Amino acid sequence: MEIIIGENAGFCFGVKRAVDTAYDIIEKSKEKIYSIGPLIHNELVTSDLRNKGLIEINSYEDIITLKNKKVIIRTHGIEKEIYDILKSNNNEIIDLTCPFVSKIHSLVKEHSEKGYKIIVIGDKDHPEVKGIVSYAKSDIFVIINEDDIKELKINKDDKVFVIFQTTTNSKNAQKLVDILRELFYNIKLVNTICNATQNRQDEVKVLADACDVMLVIGSSNSSNTKKLYEIAKIYCKDTYFLASAEDAKALKIDKNCKVGVSAGASTPKYLIEEILKNVRNEF
Ligand code: SF4
């Protein structure tokens, strides 16, 4: 069996920076360390961090009562209101928001102050997008498909600023941008899809096209892994989404197959290795 692992599979720059820093702080600090929500979208990593002492705060009630603590901000950022509450409660903030996400916050703030109506192409329920939306001081809309465009309350000659969730599907985003350009005269656009995401999406396409079987590894709550799976499935009908080594045990792959491997930005290397060990041993 030939196995080809994508060069971009696994931790991206932002996730690696956050995970390495979090482990380092937990190890060195004598006080309790908190994080607002899970640090990244991978349950294996976040449960290991919890076991090592990181305390996840998930409810608004817990956040507003947190005072004078060390608090880590996750890679995809938090809502501005939450950030401001943490600050005013005298917490020490260790901001591990990926710089690419922070840049979107600044762009949204700047353009909404200049009177633009903002359109974010992405998933309105994703924490990154909720964070982005919170930085707007003017009208902001989140769209993911053509139906959402029909709901936009924007006039033809309004100033419109378009940005993207860092992990959104570039092909879908391009399609929506083409429609928006026909609807509005005054569009400014900054492509904020992260390079790591773009490279991974380009790579998975090529790999899936060249392989008989594709394995896409990552958590089911990781939006970028789900997008990799959707793309791979278009080019390779035998594409499998694997969240754990256990999932790999059920696979039946012919030993003559060429197998491609991709993994989301929050998938640790050890999970990829563990799964491949299972795939190799099994067949
Ligand atoms: S995928 Fe890109 S934007 Fe998201 S954490 Fe990684 S490097 Fe940052």
Residue range(s) in the chain whose domain bears CATH number 3.40.50.11270: 13-97
31-35, 122-126, 151-155, 219-223: range with lowest mean pLDDT: 219-223
What CATH number does domain 100-189 carry, 1.20.120.80, 3.40.1010.20, 3.40.50.300, 3.30.200.20? Answer: 3.40.1010.20
The response to whether residue 235 sits with its C-beta less than 6 Å from ligand 1 reads no
Q: Note the pLDDT of residue 282.
A: 52
% pLDDT > 70, the chain: 99
Q: Which fold is adopted by the domain 2-10+195-282?
A: Cobalt-precorrin-4 Transmethylase; domain 1 (3.40.1010)
pLDDT tens digits for range 24-35: 999 999 899 999
Q: Is the CB of 15 under 6 A from ligand 1?
A: yes
Cβ(8) – ligand 1 distance below 6 Å: no
Q: Is 13 in the pocket of ligand 1 (CB under 6 A)?
A: yes
Cα 269-198-72 angle, rounded to 5 deg? 55
75 within ligand 1 shell (Cβ under 6 A):
yes
Residues of the chain with CATH 3.40.1010.20: 2-10+195-282, 100-189
Tell me the pLDDT band of 279, cut-offs 50, 70 and 90: confident
Q: In angstroms, how far is CA 163 from the centroid of its own chain?
A: 15
| Candidate of 73, 102, 167, 226 to mutate for ligand 1, largest count of ligand atoms within 8 Å of Cβ | 167
Measured in angstroms, how far is the CA atom of residue 100 from the centroid of ligand 1? Answer: 7
Ligand 1 atom having least distance to the Cα of 18 = 5
Percent of the chain whose pLDDT exceeds 90: 84
Answer yes or no: is the C-beta of 143 below 6 A from any ligand 1 atom. no
- For 104-134, the pLDDT digits (tens) are 999 999 999 999 999 999 999 999 999 999 9
The verdict on the CB of residue 196 being under 6 Å from ligand 1 is yes
Task: Write out the two tokens for 154.
Answer: 């924007």
Distance in Å, CA 97 to ligand 1 centroid = 9
Give the pLDDT mean for 195-222: 93
Q: Which atom of ligand 1 is nearest to the CA of 196?
A: 2
Q: What residues act catalytically?
A: 128
Residue closest via CA to ligand 1's atom 8 equals 14
Nearest atom in ligand 1 to 195's CA: 2
Q: Going by CA atoms, what residue is nearest to atom 5 of ligand 1?
A: 14
Contacts 24+ apart (CB under 8 A), 40-43: 40/15, 40/74, 40/75, 40/266, 41/218, 41/219, 41/221, 41/222, 41/223, 41/225, 41/264, 41/266, 42/218, 42/219, 42/222, 42/264, 42/266, 42/267, 42/268, 42/271, 43/219, 43/221, 43/243
Class of domain 13-97: alpha beta
Nearest to 135 by CA among 165, 104, 156: 104
Q: Measure 98 CA to ligand 1 centroid, in angstroms.
A: 6
